[in-house]
A and B are shown apart, each in its own frame.
Chain A
């Protein structure tokens, strides 16, 4: 029965994934891909390949007309995916198929208006049915979480919260009662590959670690194995988005896109494990 595999709280899968790595003395790898880029069938294969190569959690980006938190790389992926007419039904079906073959947590990254127009109750009900574990909503700050929080809770979907280097005194408030993992934004600005980070990670994570009671993951701009090595000690996991999307976008065909995702995930995994 479909619902059986989702009977335990879905954010349980997120906790388990971090727990598993922690026991190994390792860090979790979170990878991001835009649903429908280069096409839906390729996305499905890319997600499965990333999981097979050691991704502990996969973020599926829902293509949006106006992704204000994204830099040029993911903006372009959004535009390509939207040209294929991607709708939520496609994404839920994709999640469904992936969930049938893996227990790795899957979360959606999307803008709040998508959830609100779909209807929050129906949205999170469909998330649960498709075996999704959480949502990251970059334009929904802590103060506005009431917009969807109850519906997410009712269906056991984690509403993943974010803190940034300028969150300062907000960190305690945001971290308290957070679910799944705490998304620690590496630097100011939008997503995108960065050559270097200006953030004082020691100070940033000192405040975060004093406030959090769930795993942390550091993301925004982490672009290769070398950067992963440089920052991995700060959090329980690292998130790689734009760099993955960029390498996929450089492929000449879906076949090559999958191969690139495999190679890049491997590079990231080994940077975390060595």
Chain B
């Protein structure tokens, strides 16, 4: 592997105009990665600004209620800006600064990556433009306003299906236009090399902390680690440190929308085929002539027709398992965790909680199940109320 591929997946399928920029990014990243000063600055920011390490919380009520594995929640929802996205963003924006770029752009689905990028841009005094599908602008209105408050421009993308994939298209187009002065802060372990590897490295801290924290709390490795999968960054972050530990089951939960046997879902590995899109070879939901098919999930952050190439590889190798949870299961889990533990999860993370409810009862009582709680649910409350038919309106 040359660092660009994960088995047959990955690569750099982008227009010629971006090739030198990707080369420069790769070189700058590899230098930064080996530079203790860069790592020290990132570690300090993660601690003092983002609030790391995030807690590993023993969910006693849930454990008792489900009767099986001991359940721990990795509280990425407690990070500054409310999700794991900040881990990656701090790394990339520090790199942008190091490369002398004064303008960053980003795509966003649920708005969490956009908010994190807008936040870091504010902190470092950079200009920031975020691309967001028009449909997501509507269902995540709160995050749109947060980004604007933070001083970012938010561009509503109306092309195609007006969701996350179209936001990525538009961010890539914008990057091709302004490649010389703009740094593209990609939000997940996807896209052309070196992004999947770089984003994974910046998210790897999640699994490293789980390992250390659990060793202190339980004196052992977990039996399974669960995470939701959109592009796959919170899952890859939680999984990566455990890949060599073969006893640890790694389980990614995709969005099944109305069900994987309907045409309204976003279960890429469950239902997709190998193709090339958004700069990478991986699994995609597509038709027999390579047109990307519209996807659907209640969760804007999981509403994506592809998955990062390293997940595709973990799937091919049989090292990780990929399952799915429907909208309904996710909303039930959203409500369940709120009542059971007093923690309102992001609707994305609720997909992982939904699967935990399925498997925890079947696991032995001395086993340990870690659920990566990738984000908090404040942004979703309005939409969930609507889903449940409750009318929430301001004063």
Chain A interface residues (CB < 8 Å from chain B): 64-66, 68-69, 71-72, 75, 79, 82, 87-88, 111-118, 138-144, 147, 162-168, 170, 174, 185, 188-190
Contact = CB atoms under 8 A, between A and B. Distances in A.
Contact of A141 (B19, B176, B288, B292): B19
A60 B286 CA distance: 22
Interface string B216-232: 00000000000000000
Interface string B1-25: 0000000000111111101110000
Contact of A144 (B13, B165, B278): B13
Interface in B263-322: 273, 275-279, 284, 286-293
Contacts of B273: 117
Given A65-B292, A68-B172, A118-B289, A164 B16 contact: yes
Given A75-B159, A113-B286, A163-B16, A66 B275 contact: no
B17 A166 contact: yes
Contact of B16 (A87, A111, A114, A162): A162
Contacts of A65: 160, 291-293
Nearest 9 A/B pairs, CB to CB: A189-B177, A117-B290, A113-B290, A114-B290, A164-B17, A65-B291, A162-B16, A65-B292, A113-B276
Given A114-B289, A118-B289, A141 B177 contact: no
B290 A116 contact: yes
B179 interface: yes
Contacts of B160: 65-66, 79
Interface in B172-192: 172-173, 176-180
Contacts of B383: none
Interface in B1-53: 11-17, 19-21
Contacts of A174: 16
B169 interface: yes
A143 B286 contact: no
Contacts of B13: 112, 139-141, 144
A151 B172 CA distance: 29
A166 B290 contact: no
Given A118-B289, A188-B177, 17 more contacts: A65-B291, A68-B278, A113-B276, A113-B290, A114-B290, A115-B290, A117-B287, A117-B290, A142-B19, A144-B13, A164-B16, A165-B17, A167-B19, A170-B20, A188-B178, A188-B180, A190-B176
Grouping DSSP codes into helix (H, G, I), strand (E, B) and loop, the B interface class, with mixed when no group exceeds half, is mixed
B179 A113 contact: no
A188 B176 contact: yes
Interface of B: 11-17, 19-21, 159-160, 165-166, 169, 172-173, 176-180, 273, 275-279, 284, 286-293
A185 B17 contact: yes
A138 B292 CA distance: 17
B271 to A, nearest CB: 15
A168 B275 contact: no
Contacts of A190: 173, 176-177
15 contacts: A65-B292, A66-B160, A66-B165, A66-B166, A66-B292, A68-B173, A79-B160, A117-B289, A139-B15, A140-B13, A141-B13, A167-B16, A185-B16, A185-B17, A188-B178
A190 B177 CA distance: 7
Nearest to A118: B289
Contacts of A75: 159
Contact of B173 (A117, A147, A168, A189): A189
A64 B177 CA distance: 21
B290 A69 contact: no
Contacts of B178: 188-189
B289 A141 contact: no
Contact of B20 (A88, A112, A166): A166
A239 to B, nearest CB: 15
B272 to A, nearest CB: 12
B15 A68 contact: yes
